[in-house]
């Protein structure tokens, strides 16, 4: 599997899915989440959303991030250049996953810029590693 870059609603490359198909890292090498059966969880076990059809969407069905192969959804901005990836840091142990909520109907809207799930994926130092 290849590395998949995730872009935000402004086209910035904010994180990536590692070639293991499970681990999500920031470009500075910080592990932020992991993927299991389309569900995305923090290492603290919090469910953040789903990854499907090239989109990461939240509990309301709003789109948070996209990949270059995303299909459907809202208009996507031009993708900006990816930053260089630093060496990956060691992933913390995975805590028990909280139950996933029922998958919502996907909307055609972007998630709000202050969506906690989006911030957990893109600014984990502000939210905290165990969200």
pTM above 0.85, yes or no: yes
Average pLDDT over residues 88-107: 91
Mean pLDDT of 69-98: 93
**127 pLDDT above the threshold of 70:** no
Write phi, then psi, for 49 (nearest 5 degrees). Answer: 165, -155
pLDDT value of residue 126:
52
Mean confidence (pLDDT) of the chain = 90
The pLDDT, as a whole number, for residue 124 is: 73
Q: Domain limits at 28?
A: 4-127
Average pLDDT estimate for 8-27? 95
> Can you tell me the mean pLDDT for 97-123?
89
pLDDT band for 129, please (50, 70, 90 cuts).
very low
pLDDT given at position 34:
95
Averaged pLDDT for residues 17-27: 95
Are 31 and 92 contacting, i.e. CB atoms less than 8 angstroms apart?
Answer: yes
Number of folded domains that form the chain: 1
């Amino acid at each position: 599997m290849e590395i998949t870059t995730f872009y935000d609603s402004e086209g910035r490359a904010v994180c990536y899915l590692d070639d293991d198909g499970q681990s999500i890292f920031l470009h500075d090498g910080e592990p932020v989440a992991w993927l299991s059966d389309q569900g995305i969880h923090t290492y603290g076990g919090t469910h953040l959303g789903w990854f499907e059809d090239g989109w990461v969407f939240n509990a309301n069905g709003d789109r948070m991030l996209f990949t270059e192969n995303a299909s459907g959804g809202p208009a996507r901005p031009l993708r900006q250049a990816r930053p260089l990836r630093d060496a990956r840091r060691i992933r913390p142990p995975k805590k028990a996953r909280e139950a996933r909520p029922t998958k919502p109907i996907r909307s055609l809207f972007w998630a709000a810029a202050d969506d906690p799930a989006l911030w957990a994926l893109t600014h984990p130092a502000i939210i905290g590693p165990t969200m």
